[in-house]
Structure 1
Amino acid sequence: MNHSGTVDLALWQVASAYIFLLIVFIIVRIKKIPREKLIVISALRMTLQLILVGYLLVYIFKYPNPWITLVIIFFMLSFAVFNVYQRSKATLHFALKKMVGVAMFVGVGLSFCYMMLIVLRLDPWYEPRYFIPIGGMIIGKTMTGVALGVNNLVNGMKEQRHTIEGALMLGATPKQATKDIINQAFDSAMLPTINAMVGMGIVFLPGMMTGQIIAGQQPVTAVKYQIAVMLGVAGTVSITVLIFLHLAYKAFFNDHLQFLLTKRDAKKEDKPVEYN
């Protein structure tokens, strides 16, 4: 136990935790599930990435700099956008990818500024000890929400193509024809965040709150931070997903308000749209 009252793990204690990885490895081997290689690679990547980040944060916390902090947040946000592309089950055209990026940067940027400057009132505003960990939590949850929004929007457009085209033929605008799909995509994107809020405190203790308590912080103070951050996460996810959906649905229509979904449709209109 160190001077702050927290238990400092020795290297052999950390190494002993890898027994859980061995258990997972044995189970998938017995079940003949071909995931051994993925499990090993994931564990190695996690270990190396966390070690590198740990030493990097030691330097950043010791020598705080606004530009370094902003560059790190920019890198995290850019990587999150790339992850949304990777997690999409559909092939996204550049126009839709651009909308994902715009939504992520605008939604997260606006919410982040309010969170840091108004709610937490950091001094200095770029204090990396708060800025980077809280930013990571908000960006990570937002990434998950946008990825769900992307998949549900594209799938909804595919599955309800005839319904959309029928509505257009009856005089509906693209916004009216896709209203239900957009609402469903938004609901699906928000569901993980809402479920987390419902179970928080009774079913499980969230990571940030647990970390602060282990670090010696008073539970009530940890609760205050967790509430503020979770509300920030919910707001950021909703704003970002809403921006994306209300930009993205337009990419499925041409200038004549005709529905475009497949490669064949795109070639007819001489427009490079591909969502298959």
Structure 2
Amino acid sequence: MDSIIELQIWQVAAAYIFVALLLAIVKIKKINREREILLSTVRMTLQLILTGYVLVYLFENPHPLLTIAVLMLMQVFAVKNIYKRVKHDMTKKLKHVIGFSMIIGTLVSLVYFVLIVINLSPWYEPRYFIPLGGMIIGNAMTGIALGTNQLIDGMQSKKHLVEAALMLGATPKDASKTIVNNAFDSAILPTINSMLGMGIVFLPGMMTGQILSGVSPLTAIEYQIAIMLGILGSVSLSVILFVQLGYKTFFNDEYQLNE
């Protein structure tokens, strides 16, 4: 295999022409997004540069405590990002459920993937553990954010149906079953759709990166299949934990909807 092509600074800078193109389009169309585009571009650049230096240090100085610290930091930022992406007010109980579901769902999936699927030794090897953890946590974060919005939307828009079911003797679980199922379905649908188009419509980022770095396409495919199944598992586990615990926060001890 040929060695990877090293990009020079001017080559990376040349890629920013696409940002200028987008800015020109929104300017012509009079879409007020210039600030968001510039802010996201600057943040992306600075964050990735900083991450690069951190990863270099971690790769050269592998230590279980450092790996765990990075993992927990990713968890904290993921949970906070969910709070920001949910467009509704949330109770403290619901926020606690989000945090619990994210941590438990992603940790169980990541530990299984690292120890059983790829049999990583040592388990804390940051070159594998951190990128895999980032993909699993990031996708679970998106799933829970979608599920949270859908769950709150459903409990608000179908409040009268839930109350009617409660008055007829249904339990909170039965009264909100359809809403919970719809929230779960909405949360996992993007992952399923991504899997449907993978390999035909597009090549995933992880697979593309490995191929560009000189890895055999067949080896890259093996890793991509494994990580996508790991992502599917983490999203499914995290979201099912969330919806099964989250709907309960909308009811009081007397099986009535909270005001």
TM-score, structure 1 length as denominator? 0.93
Instruction: Map Cα deviations across residues 20-58 of structure 1 (whole Å, 9 max, x no partner).
Output: 000001111111111111111111111111001001111
Gaps of 5+ in 2: none
2:93 alignment counterpart: 95
Query: What residue number does 2:236 align with?
Result: 238
**1:120-159 pair list within 5 angstroms:** 120-159=118-157
SS state at 1:125 partner:
coil
Structure-2 residue corresponding to 1:196: 194
Q: What's the CA shift for 1:259?
A: 1.1
For 1:32-71, list aligned pairs within 5 A: 32-71=30-69
Match for residue 158 of structure 2? 160
Deviations 1:169-208 (A, max 9, x none): 1110000000000000000000000000000000000010
> Residue type of the partner of 1:16?
A
Instruction: Measure, in 1, the Cα distance between the counterparts of 2:80 and 2:2.
Output: 39
How many residues end up aligned between the 2 structures? Answer: 259
Which ranges of 4 or more aligned residues in structure 1 deviate by more than 6 Å? none
Distance 2:51 2:252 in 1: 45
CA-to-partner distance for each residue in 1:69-113, whole Å, 9 max, x for gaps?
110011001100100000001011111000000000010111111
- Please list every run of 5 or more consecutive structure 1 residues that lacks an aligned counterpart in the other structure: 266-276
Distance 1:84 1:222 in 2: 31
Select 2:115's aligned residue among 117, 121, 144.
117
Q: Distance in 1 between matches of 2:53 and 2:136?
A: 22
* Per-residue deviation, 1:223: 0.5
Query: In structure 1, what is the Cα distance between the partners aligned to 2:64 and 2:2?
Result: 28
Which of 72, 75, 78 is the aligned partner of 1:77?
A: 75
TM-score normalised by L of structure 2: 0.99
Give the match for residue 255 of structure 1.
Answer: 253
Write the letter of the residue equivalent to 2:241. I
> 2:5 pairs with 7, 12, 28, which one?
7
CA deviation map 1:190-239 (0-9, x unaligned): 00000000000000000100000001101111001000100000011001
Partner of 1:227: 225
User: In the alignment, what sits opposite 1:268?
Assistant: none
* Aligned residue identity for 1:158: Q
What is the root-mean-square deviation in Å for CA atoms of aligned residues?
1.0
Shift of 1:4: 6.7
Distance of 2:208 and 2:68 partners within structure 1: 26
